[in-house]
Amino acid sequence: MNNNLLPLGTRDEFGSRAVNKQHIISVIEHSFSDRGFAKISTPLLEKKTVFEPYKLGNYQLYSLLDQEGDTIMLRPDMTLPIARFLSSTNISLPQKFWYVGDIFRISRQLSGSYNELTQAGIELVGYSSIKAEFECLILINQLSQKLLTDPIEIELGIADLTTVILKDLTDDTELQEEIAQALYDKQIPKYERLIDRFSNQPEYQFLLKWPRMFGKPERIFAQLAEDDLSPEIEQRISELKQVVNWIQTTLPDQAVSIDLSSRAPQQYYTGLTFKGFSKAGSGYLFSGGRYDKLLANFQDMTESAVGMGINIDLLTDLIERKPTVQKKLLYFKPDQWQAAEKVLQQNPNSILSLSDNLDDARKEAQQLRAELVDLTEGEFIG
Amino acid sequence: MDNKRLKIALTKGRVEKQVVPLLEAANINCDQIRNKKRRLIFDSETQPLEFILAKGPDVTTFLERGAADIGIVGSDILTEHQSSQYELLDLGIGKCQFVLASTQDFDPKAPKRKIIGTKYPLITKRYFDSLGQDVEIIKIEGSVELAPLTGLADAIVDITETGTTIRENNLKIFDYLDKVSTRLVVNRMSLKQHPDEIFSFVDQIKQVVDKKGKTISK
């Protein structure tokens, strides 16, 4: 068997992709630091129990046994480890954290998907105010402007809206679950079969249009005005309208849409959800929301929290390759190191050639598409 | 509004033959597909559409990876390949059904771990799981009927339209599983990125499907 093959679903990163990815991480890191977020790093490996609240999509998780025979996992998510950290320490709240690191999810074999993904994000823990959500929305707006040439659209949703609507509709919890699944997955033939039994009820007209209730807020709110909604639903819609108004006032150039038929990113979400996408990407670049019951998985006390993940790999796919300034490759003899170091300091676009002779340095310059500067010929004036 | 050209991955072969008249009835020009020769990709000169002809399982891969916005493929393949994309329309064509079939002497209640031949291991596993039975599944790529006839398997799980092939091979149907039909599926992100163009295309076809459904039910 060859010993130089990668496991399925993994990749090496080098060259422009590695440079672009590092650039994105650096921009994000500066933005978070400038806004006073504290860096947090958690281990790649966690006990399996940490991820019990985690809902698997179409993928599996990497797991292995530790010395005591307990199952440990390569983390598929960054939020639950931070919740675990908070519940096991006496960190005073509120806190604003930021993180960047790799997560691991096993996708369908040979599907072209990668199993190791880089994610950055923030966790605002101990904040019950809507200002925590606004902080995330501002960051989506600012980071997308810093990193992308194409504008992105922010899509808002309400984590428990479907549950509230379906509880009003029927007491049959199995049916509620079936309708919710068909709605989230937009399996329209199945969804229409399931709601057919309510065709004589006043809610039927709403049920019919529900799967298409996403897009421009004005259109969706106008559609909702035709329906007789329960006070509980009205309250959630009213809160959503306030957020839309806030975005339209505070970030007038930011495209915003709403989706009343989508699944929350994870089942621990409890309030507003938000996602960001561009016209070009193959997935969501930003995804987050409020999850006030997150810590309840690890301790008796609940805690207000809002968080957001950023798909660094997808951003890297989209980022425009910056035109690179041609580098100068400095060739010098070992005893000229001080002189070479001086030129290096004075010329930010120069790099040292570690080649042993001029011929090798020429090849190195060709490979790097750099201009060769031969310091053995005399002093270089940059 | 941007001029998004929708990429439509269409399952070639039987599905293609049934879908093309449906698309034409919805005023979608399919001359390029009708005169395709050996070509597999068609950029329409008259409509903002690009058609890709591919095998059913590949249609789901194109969709999953975002290489196509819309896919037209059988529900058997969508289920087997665990498609996570949006299924917006049942086209009401390509109707068939999964069956459990075998030779006349097969005893479904025989107390043994059965060997089942199939092109659809996941669907087969789910079916026997629902019966509380653990079976040995052998993946077969084609002519599944051969499996019980040659002793390779005790029975098969396969799709059949009329049951003719099964009967002609002296096999008997022992159980009926899920029904199958051709579906129109949309990539999740594409629907968010280009809802107007996609819904316009879907609704054009839905009108024809609904009209056809009404004609049949009369």
pLDDT tens figures, A98-128 = 999 999 999 887 788 899 999 999 999 999 9
Question: What number is the average pLDDT over the span B121-141?
Answer: 96
**Long-range Cβ contacts of A114-117 (<8 Å, 24+ apart):** A114/A9, A114/A10, A114/A11, A114/A313, A115/A8, A115/A9, A115/A10, A115/A59, A115/A62, A116/A9, A116/A10, A116/A11, A117/A311, A117/A312, A117/A313
Question: What number is the average pLDDT over the span B125-139?
Answer: 96
**ipTM for this model:** 0.89
Contact of B186 with chain A, judged by CB distance below 8 Å, is answered with: yes
Size of chain A, expressed as the number of residues it contains: 382
Contact of B24 with chain A, judged by CB distance below 8 Å, is answered with: no
Q: Do A282 and B65 make contact, defined as CB atoms within 8 angstroms?
A: yes
* Domains, in order of start, for chain B: 6-94+181-217 (3.40.190.10), 96-179 (3.40.190.10)
Listed by number, the residues of chain A in 98-127 with a beta carbon closer than 8 Å to a beta carbon of chain B are 108, 111-113
- Confidence band (pLDDT; 50, 70, 90) for A159? very high
Instruction: Please check the confidence at residue A323 and state whether its pLDDT lies above 60.
Output: no
Contact of B165 with chain A, judged by CB distance below 8 Å, is answered with: no
Contact by Cβ (8 Å): B69, B190: yes
Digit-coded pLDDT (tens) for A344-370: 999 888 999 999 999 999 999 999 889
The one-letter amino acid at A64: L
The CB density around residue B101, as the number of other CB atoms within 10 Å, is 25
Query: What pLDDT score does A321 carry?
Result: 58
Contact of A215 with chain B, judged by CB distance below 8 Å, is answered with: yes
Q: Do A186 and B86 make contact, defined as CB atoms within 8 angstroms?
A: yes
For residues A277 and A327, which has the higher predicted lDDT (pLDDT)? A277
Q: Which of A55, A59, A108 to mutate to test the interface with B (most CBs of B within 10 A)?
A: A108
Q: Do B84 and A58 make contact, defined as CB atoms within 8 angstroms?
A: yes
Q: What distance in Å separates residue A379's CA from the closest CA in chain B?
A: 54
| Burial of B176 per CB tally in 10 Å (0-12, 13-18, 19+) | exposed
Specify binding-site residues of A for L-histidine: 77-79, 105, 119, 123, 268-269
